[in-house]
Chain A
């Protein structure tokens, strides 16, 4: 098995940008090292023989957890909108959006 590519500083900067995190140069160096260790640890799993092991979708071996389709009380609108920095016409007012919805 080939060695997985080493995590680079650019990878971390990209992921941080996707998460809207603004990292300083020092933070980038720090997190690149720390995240690389996390990935190395996860890569240890790759050395095991996992043929025939079903992937785990959840930490608990439970399926089909559901509720009945019955309405429950909603929050009071004034209380909800009272938490928002800006409100207009009973709606949340948000800054100009660049681009259409994904």
Chain B
């Protein structure tokens, strides 16, 4: 890619709201149930059925608007008309020219601000699967439809075309996902389709040029595919322009296996949706008091959670780059409260952060419901030197599996007794005696060899030795 080319990226993110029921009827909003079991006359589009708006869905939409610093305003619902079997009634109820949330923004962790044009409510469609050899729509003999998802509440969050790199797009989706989870509005599971991303991509030669013709990319099922698809699409557009052709405004499908985008339809084939006001729904007019009440229920947002952890580490002398990544991981997974509780109980912030980001994070679902008291007790045992790092990790795995417990008792059951100082000293002395060359280099100041000796001691003691005690013993022997 020539260096002066610049990408312009805007993202549309659909997120399913975490309600008990659908947007306009009382059918359960559950992922993964038996096909067509959560359906009623309304979400099947049967004649005579009428939609009634779900208050919880409205409040979650307002929570998203608040979290994204939007103006929350009076809104209406429209019918978006199209013929496609994923909607039994041949229209989708959506918000059109008067969405509930407008003019917000999202700040990426590095401070870059992305504008939010709107975040509006609409209903999800049913799920189609295509029968036939290909499994895809092209070449399918017929399709099968499950309407369980039809009518599930969605909020579509439309960014301004502010992003300039695939990395920014990835960071935006990651941060947005963390915000949606923190606000309680969505579970943010891209793999289950509860968060879906479309990317609008164009390129221009210099930052002063007007925006180029854009293409919309669909079927991005992970943050990774989002980045790959944007890089591919920008490269495709640049190659077109450099060979004297033009980019045609199109919707394109990302093929993850082939690693490329394919044309779905051009602007000329764009649907004519004939939007009109939904006559069966009245306007939604949130007053200031309601907006404030919803805002008061919002939990702490990811940026504030990261700052809170950073402050704990600053107290302990500042953050390394690795710790910055650990903070992001811990907050993204919603495990930051564990660190805060542990530090409040006197555990060092570095240890608390590392155990949470590296070990607790491997089973985040279990860690989120882990009894914080047992976690704090475990880290305290490790901080005191009663358990080695290896032993502490082993006990933690048991705590996560059981949702809590007494770490000291688990350690005893596993036979983890802190090694006596004498037997530790013997083991270290043996390791030194077995490796005279390494020892002399260590004595001459090659400190990296401390790790070599510690490793030997750990191996000899099957991980029961305390790393700090080994290091202290090595320093004592060196004199």
Contact = CB atoms under 8 A, between A and B. Distances in A.
Co-assembled chains A and B: yes
Interface of A: 15, 18, 20, 57-60, 62-72, 74-75, 77, 80-81, 88-97, 99-102
A60 B141 CA distance: 47
Contacts of A94: 85, 128, 142-145
Contacts of A95: 142-143
Contact of A72 (B25, B142, B265): B25
A48 B214 CA distance: 42
B218 A100 contact: yes
Nearest to A72: B26
Query: Which secondary structure characterizes the binding site on chain B?
Result: loop
B39 A74 contact: yes
Contacts of A18: 81, 272, 274
B55 to A, nearest CB: 4
B291 to A, nearest CB: 13
A67 B283 contact: no
A48 B53 CA distance: 35
Contacts of B35: 89-91
Contacts of B27: 71-72, 74
A88 B25 contact: no
B128 A97 contact: yes
Contacts of A60: 282
B282 A65 contact: yes
Given A18-B81, A58-B283, A67-B26, 13 more contacts: A18-B272, A64-B284, A68-B56, A69-B21, A69-B54, A74-B37, A74-B39, A90-B146, A91-B144, A91-B146, A92-B146, A97-B143, A101-B86
B137 A100 contact: yes
Given A67-B54, A69-B21, A58 B40 contact: no
A57 B283 contact: yes
Contacts of B55: 66-69
B409 interface: no
B76 A57 contact: yes
Contacts of B53: 65-67
Given A95-B142, A100-B253, A58 B39 contact: no
Query: Which secondary structure characterizes the binding site on chain A?
Result: loop
B469 to A, nearest CB: 56
B228 interface: no
B227 to A, nearest CB: 22
Interface of B: 19-21, 25-28, 34-41, 44, 52-58, 74, 76, 81-86, 125, 128-131, 137, 140-147, 218, 253, 264-265, 271-274, 277, 279, 281-286
B85 A97 contact: yes
A100 B83 CA distance: 11
A18 B54 CA distance: 31
B36 A65 contact: no
A67 B26 CA distance: 9
A57 B282 contact: yes
A102 B58 CA distance: 25
B284 A91 contact: no
A71 B145 CA distance: 23
B120 to A, nearest CB: 15
Contacts of A99: 137, 264-265
A88 B144 contact: yes
A64 B285 contact: yes
A15 B147 CA distance: 28
A102 B82 contact: yes
B166 to A, nearest CB: 24
Listed residue (A57, A75, A88) with the most chain B CB atoms within 10 angstroms of its CB? A57
Contacts of B272: 18
Given A65-B52, A74-B40, A92 B282 contact: no
A81 B34 CA distance: 13
A72 B40 contact: yes
B36 A91 contact: yes
A69 B36 contact: no
Given A57-B282, A74-B40, A89-B35, A97 B21 contact: no
Contacts of A68: 55-56
Given A71-B28, A72-B21, A58 B279 contact: yes
B21 A71 contact: yes
A96 B39 contact: no
A99 B85 CA distance: 12
A58 B277 contact: yes
Contacts of A65: 52-53, 281-282
A102 B218 CA distance: 11
Contacts of A74: 27-28, 37-40
A53 B38 CA distance: 43
A19 B277 CA distance: 17
B21 A70 contact: yes
A70 B36 contact: no
A101 B84 contact: yes
Nearest to A81: B36
Contacts of A69: 19-21, 54-57
Contacts of B58: 66
Please provide the 5 A-B residue pairs with the shortest distance between their CB atoms, ordered closest to farther.
Answer: A72-B26, A69-B56, A91-B144, A66-B55, A63-B285
Given A64-B284, A89-B144, A91-B36, A20 B83 contact: yes
